[in-house]
Amino acid sequence: MKTYTYKEKKDTRSGFGAGLAELGRTNPNVVALCADLIGSLKMNQFIDENPERFFQIGIAEANMMGIAAGLTIGGKIPFTGTFANFSTGRVYDQIRQSIAYSGKNVKICASHAGLTLGEDGATHQILEDIGLMKMLPGMVVINPCDYNQTKAATIAIAEHDGPVYLRFGRPSVPIFTPADQKFEIGKAIQLTEGTDVTIVATGHLVWEALEASKALHEAGISAEVINIHTIKPLDDKAILDSVAKTGCIVTAEEHNHLGGLGESVARVLAQHRPTPQEFVATNDTFGESGTPAQLMDKYGLNSAAIEKAVKKVLKRK
Amino acid sequence: MPNIKELEDLTTQVRRDILRMVHKVNSGHPGGSLGCAEFFVSLYQEIMDRNEGFDMDGKGEDLFFLSNGHISPVYYSVLARSGYFSVDELNTFRLIDSRLQGHPTTHEGLPGIRIASGSLGQGMSVAIGAAQAKKLNNDDHLVYSLHGDGELQEGQNWEAIMYASAKKVDNLISAIDLNGQQIDGSTDDVLPMGSIKGKFEAFGWTVIDIEEGNNIEAVLKGMAEAKSLTGKGKPVCVLLHTIMGNGVDFMMHTHAWHGKAPNDEQLEIGLNQNAETLGDY
């Protein structure tokens, strides 16, 4: 079985900051906007190097989304930065009308997604954002898994003509994907080959899926782990090809089971190949204060939870 | 010098277009549309520096954003009669498969439209973004926007108004259609806003009034003054005093025709008060 190791842990938001800085040097049309969270979004380097292409909006996210839409008229490629909660729920109507329906080339970059925001608690821990964004016609939804992939995704979305929701997080997580990777929107990445069960994971749960697959391997269970960094458009073929081999699937995400990756996968399976599926996701609940590790444990979003789900789904084959 | 008679004739024709469009589909918003006919005609015929054809990016030309998208009839009529698309297409307003949706959109590819509007309060932010893009592009053309007065009850406007002056967006002229009416009644009955002028001034804008917003010469003069005030470090607000339903006597001075279409008889009366000048579509 192919195994993955890491030398360093870093936050995915720093991958966004590094990708944005590189875009600042390579793409003169890229502009950045922030609603009073420069440090949290790691946007400093872009701002230092391109002060004229940065717009500090203040604590006014609705205005930020509208200004971003306006900046596209004139050929700019705006990247907005704030927490995932304030990037989606707070400004849903602005995104819907001024960006998505208007077909504007805005990149909505959202940090501190999910429970791993930690101690600030449920007001800041959005677990509904993937659902909100994937329902908007034309919106691309991406949730990369580590620093390198977030950096590559940030750079890649500048080349995509249309609105994108890029979701990343606060905690340091293992860097296990290559620094020189080419990021292809909508193209799933098979991390391990397996025959007994398919595990498709997104964001922070991808590393947890790899950890689970190691333990499962030791228990004699062969798991195929797929990194679904793009939830929309979903790589239907990669999922269907894998379950054709394994006959069952576990989906894993730092998101509500309603509206997330798991439901998108379930739709594809229901239409093309009905397959037993278990969901590693939050169960229609808000979060709470705690350390990221405590929260992921309490809400069942770690490798142990994935192992348990695998054992359950195997019995349903 | 603009030919005032020609602009007045066009305005009368636009009023006929508005009435006929909303009558045909028995829906739409004639009141605010009629009140803003002079403004739209002045803007598209005289005030704005526009390029031939339509390019979404609008580099090297003035841009206009309609925030109160429900007055789409006047927008569509003036866009058509300014050459963006055939006036015959006004026949398709609000019909299935039309580019002339109930509220304006880029989604159907109608030339002249650069943003969807309808859900209120979003247009000023968009206009600010477009104005800041012009500055980045070293394009010294202006950005215009229009907003309803009732629309100012939406909070996003005040985020935008605060931002525009703080960031010295001085290539922006935002007009407020001050007709004092909204769907449920007068703005003073629904939610009194106090002095809109005082509020804009307190937020750091330069504010001018066009007291006769339904007089072409007054609108031209006022908008020329507004233009002269751009480039001085402050965004410019034009308080456009209009009469909702202007030009059709029974629709004037009331909110009743905000979003209601005339019946056959009412249409006839309205058309009789606005003689055909340039030919109906």
Banded model confidence at residue B1, pLDDT cuts 50, 70, 90? confident
Same domain for A206 and A165: no
The arithmetic mean of pLDDT across residues B32-46, rounded, is 98
- Are residues A84 and A20 located together in one domain of the fold? yes
Task: Determine what percent of chain B is predicted with pLDDT higher than 90.
Answer: 99
Q: E strands within A222-288?
A: 223-227, 230-232, 249-256, 277-282
- A150 shares a domain with A223: no
Mutate to test the interface with B, among A31, A73, A98 (most CBs of B within 10 A): A73
Residues A230 and A286 in one domain: yes
Answer whether B132 sits within 8 Å of A62, measured CB to CB. no
pLDDT the model gives residue A19: 98
Domain end among A140, A174, A208: A174
* pLDDT > 80? residue A120: yes
User: Looking at the structure, do residues A51 and A145 belong to the same domain, yes or no?
Assistant: yes
Is pLDDT above 90 for A1? no
Provide the β-strand partners of residue A79: A32, A107
Are B86 and B80 in contact by the 8 Å Cβ rule? The answer is: yes
Angle at Cα A148 formed by Cα A144 and Cα A152, nearest 5°? 70
The domain limits of chain B are: 4-272
In a domain, residue A134? The reply is yes
Read off the pLDDT of each residue in B1-19 and give the average, rounded to a whole number.
Answer: 96
Q: State chain B's mean pLDDT as an integer.
A: 97
Kindly state whether residues A196 and A281 are assigned to the same domain.
Answer: yes
Domain B4-272 listed as CATH 3.40.50.970: yes
Structure tokens, B53: 């054809």
pLDDT at B2 over 90: no
Within a domain: A82? yes
Q: Which residues of A touch B (CB under 8 A)?
A: 31, 52-53, 55, 57-58, 60, 62-76, 78, 93-94, 96-98, 101-104
Q: What is the DSSP letter of A262?
A: H
Share of chain B above pLDDT 70, in %: 100
Complex confidence, ipTM: 0.97
* pLDDT, tens only, A263-284: 999 999 999 999 999 999 999 9
**Degrees, nearest 5: CA angle A202-A208-A209:** 70
In chain B, DSSP finds a helix count (H) and a strand count (E) of 10, 7
User: Same domain for A43 and A164?
Assistant: yes
Dump strand ranges (E) for chain B.
63-66, 143-148, 172-178, 181-182, 185-186, 206-210, 236-241
Does the pLDDT at position A293 exceed 80? yes
Same-domain pairing of A285 and A195 = yes
**Residue B208: Cβ-neighbour burial (10 angstroms; 0-12, 13-18, 19+):** middle
Alpha-carbon span B68 to B83, nearest angstrom:
22
For position A99, which CATH number holds?
Answer: 3.40.50.970
A2 domain residue, yes or no: no
Average pLDDT estimate for A274-299: 98
| CB-CB under 8 Å, B116 with A98 | yes
Using one digit for the tens of pLDDT, what is the confidence trace for B249-275? 999 999 999 999 999 999 999 999 999
The answer as to whether A246 is a domain residue is yes
Nearest CA to CA, how far is B59 from chain A (Å)?
A: 6
Whole-Å CA distances, A20 to A13, A27, A47, B234? 10, 10, 10, 31
Res. A23: pLDDT tops 90: yes
- From A8, A22, A49, A61, the catalytic residue: A61
Which range marks the domain in which residue A299 is found? Answer: 189-315
Task: Count structural domains, chain A.
Answer: 2
Q: A70 with B132: CB under 8 angstroms? A: yes
Q: Is B114 on the interface with A (CB under 8 A)?
A: yes
Mean pLDDT value of segment A174-198: 98
**Is A180 domain-assigned?**
no
Q: A110 with A39, same domain?
A: yes
Mean pLDDT across chain A: 98
Label the pairing between strands B206-210 and B236-241: parallel
Among candidate residues A124, A142, A174, the one where a domain is terminated? A174
Q: What is the mean pLDDT of residues B124-128?
A: 98
R_g (Cα) of chain A, nearest Å: 19
CA distance A40 to chain B (A): 22
Quickly state the pLDDT bin for B281 (edges 50, 70, 90).
very high
Digit-coded pLDDT (tens) for A126-175: 999 999 999 999 999 999 999 999 999 999 999 999 999 999 999 999 99
Task: Please compute the mean of the pLDDT values over residues A199-215 and round it to a whole number.
Answer: 98
Cβ neighbors of A223 (< 8 A, separation 6 or more) are: A192, A194, A196, A197, A198, A199, A209, A212, A213, A216, A217, A310
Between CA A250 and CA A255, with CA A253 as vertex, the angle to 5 degrees is: 130
Rounded mean pLDDT of B122-144? 98
CA distance linking residue A258 with residue B88, whole number of Å: 47
